Amino acid sequence: MEIILKYFSDFDEKQLRQFAALEELYKDWNGKINVISRKDIESLYLKHVLHSLAIAATIEFQPGTSVIDIGTGGGFPGVPLAIFFPEVQFHLVDSIAKKLKVINEVSNAIGLTNITTQHTRAEEIKNRQFDFAVSRAVAPIKDLWKWAYPLIKRGNKQELPNGLICLKGGDLVQEIAESSVKPRMIPIDEIFEEDYFKEKYLLHITK
């Protein structure tokens, strides 16, 4: 929890309680339904919560913004972002139902009311659009953009135009070349100084 407060301080008491509760809740649920690797659960705040909040360090989602989290897994980046932005609506999507059960149980336990979940693949969602899509290490950029593109509204009601924001790691040169898009790319180790974030990036792609 301290690692979060190292970089972010403007939380109310409810948000502090919600962030503080995540460790025990995820440890408990991870014992029943494995959504986070065993070796990572001890570093939940660094490797999952803070990593997710790289998005919050980059963009201030305005109240009323709608965000879809594609392939959310155990709820990252969607759950930390929903705590951080209580007036933003988050729709968390995954093809594995038991992962969404964990998200729903965690959300209910901490009183998160700005999250909805859907058991589906992003490419199967029809007739819905969002201001932003977010994703963390789910698929190659080419595939992510193919899935996200029809789900994103055109427009811009904040400092960054609507689009896909994804968290990726490693050498992305070939992956970007194969995607035919030109993302804005931010090294996360320029935001957070911990060694874990070396060669990790935030990519922003607009329509």
The binding site for S-adenosyl-L-methionine consists of 71, 76, 122-123, 136
Under 8 Å between Cβ of 178 and 197: no
User: String of b and e for 73-84 (b: at least 16 CB within 10 Å)?
Assistant: bbbbbbbbbbbb
Under 8 Å between Cβ of 151 and 129: yes
- Reference 80, options 114, 122, 119; nearest CA is 114
CA–CA separation, 124 vs 57, rounded Å?
31
Q: Which residues are annotated as a binding site?
A: 71, 76, 122-123, 136
